[in-house]
Amino acid sequence: MSPRPVRFFHRGAVVEVEPKAATRTVLEWLREEALCTGTKEGCAEGDCGACTVVVGELGAGGQLEMKPVNACIRFLPTLDGKALFTVEDVAEVGRGSSRPGQPGTLHPAQQALVACHGSQCGFCTPGFVMSLWNCYERHQAAGTRPTRQQLADDLSGNLCRCTGYRPILDAGQQMFEPPARRLDAAPVVAALKTLAADAPLAGPAFRAPRTLAELAAARLQHPQARLLAGSTDIGLWVTKQFRELPELIYVGDVAELRLVEERAAADAGSSARMLHIGAGATLEAAWAALHQRWPALRDMWLRFASLPVRHAGTMGGNVANGSPIGDSAPVLIALDAQIVLRQGERVRRMPLADFYVDYMKNRLEPGEFVQGLEVPLHNPCTLRAYKISKRFDSDISAVSAGMAIELDSTGTVRDVRLAYGGLAAIVKRAAAAEGALRGQPWNEVTLQRGMAALAEDFKPLTDMRASAAYRAQVATNLLRRFWLETRPGAPLAEREVSVYARHAAPA
């Protein structure tokens, strides 16, 4: 697979592995070779969380950063240069020993699950332990304790089919009561610094460039290769569709692609600022940055997949995938974002709304890849985002929408962008509805015209998630909700429309 083995920190030491295939998953290796069978396979698609592990890597300041991810869809070579923690490690934390097989007293997260009766069949429990352990480490480092809602958000990627979540949430709160029992990060950091000196993986089946220039060159030389980021979509091609992926180019080690920062707008001579989101930035990092600037995105951010998926997947990958039910694109289109494409040394930009051509088809040329996204920060529009799905947490949308409106001093619609997912073969703007609203007073008469015009914009399909009639009704209802939240004079308060705001509000 590569001129050298995959090397990562696991069970107190650096291990070297020659994967049987570039698409061998972390879960397969753990259970079949490392014999760490506490990590379970439930769904094999990143939904249930039974396979949750924690991956550590060095942050920009040289500190250890840990993230829960799904081992069932993570390819083993992507662990190169990183640290892997499983449920077998947790009891040993704080004992001064990390020898494989060394028994230890239960970690506070484990002990709390026992004390609160947080496990029945126990199949999902190791995954819950890992999510709770990651939450524990993060809050202990910050000197804080999570609220019950924050615990629920951290456990959004862990499904329990028999215990129920009340005792598990109880355990999450109780685990902070005993004296702190933190991971000794020093040996891990030392090992990761040593691993950083290794040459990049550069085999014919798996290439892992570390600079943007190296990635651009590899993409030109191997245009037929599949680009791999978080594996939250491609992983399912392997575990569910049993597809062969003979050549992969992994973008997760390109530091430049992971940047999320404010920059000057690309237009020459412009003093405007924009938010740059590198194509390799995780969904969690990207949504956190968007939420910081547009607080109304909190519900969409926390309902986008689950925390392990957001820590692995990337916003660039979500956009490049082009799914008509992807939740990032409607919001970004409503924000008038541009997509940045690179082919060798050539860089070009276009409105994200123009990037999609047809179902799962876009304007990428051979040898070209998504380098990033640019969101203007000078836009005076009021923004809202909506997600309609069968489950509240960790579910695929039946309909999603990003809506932005700018009113003048008289309450007249100066500009409006309405982008919907789930209503067509691509995420697209509702041009007819926008035309019915633009230049008109933002009142109920104008709203009714816009709702009627949506029928010209979309002819939705019926599938397993929703019927065409339901989708059409939801589209108009969401536009009405948008009006209720943004109408002049009497907009709905945040606590009336946000689940998270209601949980945070005093009883």
pLDDT band of residue 371 (cuts 50, 70, 90) is very high
Residue 96 lies in a domain: no
Q: In this structure, are 165 and 273 located in the same domain?
A: no
Is the CB of residue 188 less than 8 Å from the CB of residue 210?
Answer: no
Same domain, yes or no: 370 and 414: yes
| Domain CATH code at residue 138 | 1.10.150.120
Could you tell me the pLDDT band of residue 103, with boundaries at 50, 70 and 90? low
Cα separation of 282 and 15, whole Å? 26
Instruction: Give the domain CATH number at 425.
Output: 3.30.390.50
Residue 101 forms part of a structural domain: no
Query: 369-376 and 338-343 as β-strands: parallel, antiparallel, unpaired?
Result: antiparallel
User: pTM above the 0.85 mark?
Assistant: yes
Token pair for 60: 């920009």
Segments forming the whole domain that contains residue 312 = 259-500
C-alpha to C-alpha distances, 366 to 223, 251, 319, 485, nearest whole angstrom:
6, 17, 18, 44
Asked whether residue 123 is assigned to any structural domain, the reply reads yes
| pLDDT exceeds cutoff 50 at 96 | no
Q: Which of 240, 255, 270 is the last residue of a domain?
A: 255
Residues 293 and 247 in one domain: no
How far is residue 375's CA from residue 277's CA, in Å, rounded to a whole number? Answer: 8
The CATH number for 18's domain is: 3.10.20.30
Task: Please check the confidence at residue 97 and state whether its pLDDT lies above 50.
Answer: no
Residues 237 and 340 in one domain: no
Please give the C-alpha separations between residue 401 and each of 16, 127, 475, in angstroms, as whole numbers.
46, 32, 8
Query: What pLDDT is stored for residue 92 in this prediction?
Result: 75
Given a contact cutoff of 8 angstroms between Cβ atoms, the answer to whether 240 and 44 are in contact is yes
Residue 1 lies in a domain: no
Whole-number pLDDT of residue 17: 97
Say whether both 436 and 320 belong to one domain.
Answer: yes
Do residues 345 and 466 share a domain? yes
Mapping DSSP to helix (H, G, I), strand (E, B) and coil, where does residue 372 land? Answer: strand
Are residues 168 and 314 located together in one domain of the fold? no
Contact 319, 326 (CB under 8 A): yes
- Answer with the residue of higher pLDDT: 271 or 292: 292
Determine what percent of the chain is predicted with pLDDT higher than 70: 96
Average pLDDT across the chain, whole number: 94
Query: Treating both helix axes as pointing N-terminal to C-terminal, what angle do 165-174 and 108-115 enclose, rounded to 10 degrees?
Result: 130
Round to whole Å and give the CA distance between 241 and 122: 29
Map residue 300 onto helix, strand or coil. helix
pLDDT tens-digit series, residues 321-364: 999 988 999 999 999 999 999 999 999 999 999 999 999 899 99
| CA 356, 357, 360, 362 torsion-angle sign | negative
Residue 507 has pLDDT above 80, yes or no: no
Are 70 and 127 members of one domain?
no
How many residues belong to the chain? 507
pLDDT of residue 282: 97
Domain match, 21 and 165 both: no
The model's pLDDT over 157-180, given as tens digits with 9 standing for 90+, comes to 999 989 999 999 999 999 999 999
Q: What would the mean pLDDT of 92-99 be, rounded to a whole number? A: 52
Q: What is the pLDDT confidence band of residue 102, given thresholds at 50, 70 and 90?
A: low
Q: How far is CA 189 from CA 144, 282, 437, in A?
A: 23, 22, 56
**Considering its fold, how many domains does the chain have in total?**
3
Residue 463 has pLDDT above 70, yes or no: yes
Q: Is residue 483 part of a domain?
A: yes
**CA distance linking residue 97 with residue 397, whole number of Å:** 46
The pLDDT confidence band at residue 394, using thresholds 50, 70 and 90, is confident
pLDDT of residue 93: 62
Is residue 31 a part of any domain in this protein?
A: yes
pLDDT at 104: 65
